[in-house]
Amino acid sequence: MFRLAQQFIHHVLPGVMRPLRILWNQIIGFVFLVLAILAASRAIRSWHSAGQNENAIFELILSAIFFLIMASFGVGSFLRARRINRS
């Protein structure tokens, strides 16, 4: 009986884990891209207030760096999900 359950797990588990990994990477990619969009909107606000606020340039640089990091993580996560799907 134990051997039968073990064979069942070995056959079913890979078929379930692969779609879950793809879905996980897509959800994480979406979250990172939402964070990148929020950073982009903050960078645009900092750009418009650059003449009035002396800290706006610093905020703009930090927002741009954060945007680049989050966007690269988001795109990378979607590419990883695609690579898992194709294998």
SS (H, E, C) the chain: CHHHHHHHHHHHHHHHHHHHHHHHHHHHHHHHHHHHHHHHHHHHHHHHCCCCCCCHHHHHHHHHHHHHHHHHHHHHHHHHHHHHHHC
Domain boundaries defined on the chain: 22-86
What pTM did the predictor assign?
Answer: 0.82
Alpha carbons 36 and 55: distance in angstroms, whole number: 21
pLDDT averages per 10-residue partition of the chain, 87 residues: 86 89 97 98 90 86 96 98 92
Alpha carbons 36 and 69: distance in angstroms, whole number: 8
What pLDDT is stored for residue 29 in this prediction? 98
